[in-house]
Amino acid sequence: MEYVFPVHASNVDFHTTHAKYPATDIFADCGEPVVATTSGVVLEVSLTDEYVKGRPDGPLNGGRSVSLLGDDGVRYYGSHLQRVLSGIRAGVRVQAGQELGEVGHTGNANGVCHLHYGISPPCARTGDWKVRRGVIWPAPYLKSWRKKGGKSPVSEVAAWKSEHDCKA
C-alpha cells in the first residue's frame, strides 16, 4: 500500500495535536496542491463554503472538502480547501498522489491557509461528520509519509472502531 503526504509544497508544517479531537492542521500557502494520501474512491465532496461564523459545530465547519475511502479501508478527510479540482466527485477512483484540490481557508479556518486532516473508519460512509473529521492522531503517519515511509493507520483505526462502535 502506497501512502503520500497530503500536501505537495516546499514550505509545509503541521501540528502534532489539535483542539477538541484527534486530527491535525497542515499549514501551507493557499493554492498549494492537496493530493490523495493513498489510492481509493472519493466518498464525499463539498464544493461550496456554507459555514456561518457563530453557529454551533457541525458538518459545514470544513468549508470545501474531500473525503476518500482508501483501498486500505480507512477514510482520509481534508477540508478548508480553496478549491476542489474539476472531476473530483463521489464515486471517482483516485490514485495515491493524485491532486484533489488546493490548500485554502474556507469554513472555520479563521483566515489561516491550511488543510484540516483527519483519519477515521468509514462508519456511515457519508454524513457522520464527527467521525469523519478525525478520530486518531495523524502525526505519526504524516511523519512517516513525509519521509516516503509506509506506516499504515489500519490497525489503529480498526481498534478505535471496535472500542467506540463508530461513535465520536
Sheet containing strand 75-79, strands side by side: 13-14, 24-27, 114-120, 75-79, 65-70, 40-46, 93-94
Banded pLDDT at 22 (limits 50, 70, 90): very high
Q: How far, in Å, CA of 52 to CA of 114, rounded?
A: 18
- Write out pLDDT tens, residues 101-143: 999 999 988 889 999 999 999 998 667 889 999 999 999 999 9
Domain ranges of the chain: 13-154
Residue 68, C-alpha cell as written in the block? 476518500
Mean pLDDT of 36-43: 98
Q: Residue 168 pLDDT > 70, yes or no? A: no
pTM summary value:
0.94
User: pLDDT at residue 154 above 80?
Assistant: yes
Per-residue pLDDT tens for 49-104? Answer: 988 888 878 888 899 999 999 999 999 999 999 999 999 999 999 999 999 999 99
- For domain 13-154, the CATH superfamily is Glucose Permease (Domain IIA) (2.70.70.10)
**Dist. CA 130–CA 95, nearest whole Å:** 26
